[in-house]
Amino acid sequence: MSDTNCQINIFKLKTTGEIIRELREAKDLLLRQVAAKLDIDTAILSKIERGERKATREQIVSLAKILDHKKMTYLFSI
């Protein structure tokens, strides 16, 4: 098989932060709005979204509720 006929599919797994950002933006929520609902500083939520800081289990559960994402709520409420 020649190189021109061979295609490689590369899957990029999304980080938790990337998923949170996508869900937040899909609901047209500002970073500061979600941070206020979580009772955390906007900078902390920004770092979580960028993967510079890990969210706590409680923050993930709260985020799932705020972003109305039932699958995420189920996974982290076990």
The tokens for 71 are: 């699958």
SS3 31: helix
Q: Give the DSSP H or E segment for 32.
A: helix 31-38
Task: Give me the pLDDT at residue 68, please.
Answer: 84
pLDDT value, residue 78: 45
Q: How far apart are CA 74 and CA 8, in angstroms?
A: 34
Q: Tell me, what CATH number does 57's domain have?
A: 1.10.260.40
Amino acid at 60: I
32 Rama sector, left if φ>0, alpha if ψ -120 to 50, beta otherwise = alpha
**Predicted TM-score (pTM) above 0.85:** no
Residue 47 neighbours by CB under 8 Å, 6+ apart: 53
> How many domains does one find in the chain?
1
pLDDT, one tens digit per residue, over 6-34 is 666 666 788 889 989 999 999 999 999 99
pLDDT digits (tens, 9 = 90+) for 40-56: 999 999 999 999 999 99
Domain that holds residue 53: 3-76
